[in-house]
Amino acid sequence: SPSASLSNLQSELAQSTHAGADTGTSTMAAPPAERSFDVIVVGAGIIGSCAAHAVASRGASVLLLERFDLLHQRGSSHGESRTTRPTYTRPQYPPMVRLAHRLWHEAERDAGYTVLTPTPHLDLGPRDAPAFVAAMANGGATELAPAGDASRPAWAEAFRVPEGWAAATSGPAGVIKATKAMAMFQTLAAKMGAVVRDRTEVVDVARQEGNTIVVKTSTGEEFHGGKCIITVGAWASKLVKSITGADLPVQPVHTLVCYWRVKPGHEEELTTEAGFPTFATYGEPGFYGTPSMEYPGLIKVCRNGGPPCDPDGRDWATGTGAGGIAEIVARWIDEFMPGVVDTTGGPVLRQPCMCCMTPDEDFVIDFLGGEEFGKDVVVGAGFSGHGFKMGPAVGKILAELALDGESGTAAEAGLELEHYLIGRFEGNPMGKATSH
């Protein structure tokens, strides 16, 4: 049964993380003999967890290291939900979404339970805005039928579309249970032999004589790997700077996830069971939301982005006061969903999170390079608030880059990885900045 499968996978993870613990050290310590691996993955958020799973699925030995507790809430991968959608201004992303959906379903099959709930997706934007027009074309979106048309879904009446704006639906789309998904990939990796260790802060990555990459921790431990994958999210710039002295332009920003009360009488209409969509708007700032799912009677509606922050010195209350993120979202709700969502008193629940932004909002998927590392250290970073849905695809690509020096999966899916190279910022600090 699905519950039995989940229990078995959690047991596998527990055995992997606690195996061979040393007396007097972290309870998550790897056995002393296990200091050498084919690949070491640094950072166990969704991208790192997917990468470790992809490495383990190839039969290679892999160590997955996490600075904090597994499934912690201090980064960018935690929480109840993320959206997935195919509509992007830039054409390189819809093929990655489709690849990721296939890999999400494969992992769900192996785990015996689901983390992705399919839904429609609704985009709203100025009808003639170039970004909106391009995204709808790239995502194969279809404009909603007008009021009174028999094909118009009942949930469309929840949205007020301003004059001059259009609304369009697309797929594949849905809601991903974020923390549950991260745990799924960690447990699947452990089931295939990965060693998963938390409370282990990596402070240096260096090449030893020969072909060995040495990963050093804050407690003085060393692990040896043939290859290394760095996926440390908001800490990417700091770690890469300490390793190479180079500046990786990834800026963490503080954002606020807000859950609002559904107005009485509309609670069932806005659920996934009723077919309510994920949704997003085009403009500055952009807004997005998910159906009422994780908290009955509440719906998630949020604003993209937020103020820059230091991941090691965050103000956890940012955005909650007057004029903050929550107030901005409330104004959007009052304009676009006034009949079904209540903004009186602000959001019922507020959850802080971080997005890790590149100047052009494109990912970084590349070799660390240079004379010291060449193709032996791979970096995945800067997922800019839209990377979670791509986790299985990016993780597999990073694993193949580490193991093979190239990604056959990317080539087969028609993904051009030059869009994500670090070199695009050389002499051009904004990269390929255009609107998403």
Domain-by-domain residue ranges, the chain?
2-77+178-248+361-425, 121-170+251-357
Residue 26 has pLDDT above 60, yes or no: no
Stretch among 83-92, 159-168, 236-245, 320-329 having the lowest mean pLDDT: 320-329
Higher-pLDDT residue of 195, 436: 195
**Over the chain, what is the mean pLDDT?**
92
Cα–Cα dist 160/124, whole Å: 10
pLDDT digits (tens, 9 = 90+) for 95-110: 999 999 999 999 999 9
Residue 283's pLDDT band (cuts 50, 70, 90): confident
Residue 13's pLDDT band (cuts 50, 70, 90): low
Residue 222 has pLDDT above 90, yes or no: yes
Residue 265 has pLDDT above 90, yes or no: yes
Q: What is the pLDDT of residue 296?
A: 97
Domain 2-77+178-248+361-425 in this protein, CATH class: alpha beta
Cα–Cα dist 202/266, whole Å: 49
Cα–Cα dist 55/231, whole Å: 14
Q: What is the pLDDT of residue 428?
A: 87
pLDDT digits (tens, 9 = 90+) for 110-142: 999 999 999 999 999 999 999 999 999 999 999
User: Which strands sit side by side in the sheet containing 116-118, from one edge to the other?
Assistant: 82-84, 174-176, 116-118
Token pair for 381: 């970073």
Domain 121-170+251-357 in this protein, CATH class: alpha beta
Angle at 365 between CA 39 and CA 117, to 5 degrees: 90
Higher-pLDDT residue of 11, 58: 58
Stretch among 77-86, 312-321, 391-400 having the lowest mean pLDDT: 312-321
Q: What is the pLDDT of residue 44?
A: 98
Residue 25 has pLDDT above 80, yes or no: no
pLDDT digits (tens, 9 = 90+) for 60-75: 999 999 999 999 999 9
User: Nearest-CA neighbor of 82 among 113, 117, 111?
Assistant: 117
Same fold, 2-77+178-248+361-425 and 121-170+251-357: no
pLDDT digits (tens, 9 = 90+) for 248-262: 999 999 999 999 999
Q: What is the pLDDT of residue 138?
A: 97
Stretch among 93-107, 192-206, 322-336, 355-369 having the lowest mean pLDDT: 322-336
Residue 21 has pLDDT above 50, yes or no: no
**Whether the Cβ atoms of residue 170 and residue 142 lie closer than 8 Å to each other:** yes
Q: What is the pLDDT of residue 22?
A: 38
Residue 229 has pLDDT above 70, yes or no: yes
Q: What is the pLDDT of residue 419?
A: 96
Q: What is the pLDDT of residue 31?
A: 43
Residue 19 has pLDDT above 70, yes or no: no
Token pair for 259: 């859950």
Q: What is the pLDDT of residue 429?
A: 85
Residue 183 has pLDDT above 70, yes or no: yes
| pLDDT average, residue stretch 174-182 | 98
Residue 12 has pLDDT above 50, yes or no: yes
Residue 333 has pLDDT above 90, yes or no: yes
- DSSP, residue by residue, 127-186: TT-HHHHHHHHHTT-EEPPPTT-TTS-GGGGG-PPPTTEEEEEESS-EEE-HHHHHHHHH
Cα–Cα dist 268/289, whole Å: 16
Higher-pLDDT residue of 328, 318: 328
**Beta carbons within 8 Å of 174's beta carbon, 6+ residues apart:** 83, 84, 116, 117, 118, 119, 278
Q: What is the pLDDT of residue 367?
A: 98
Cα–Cα dist 425/205, whole Å: 23
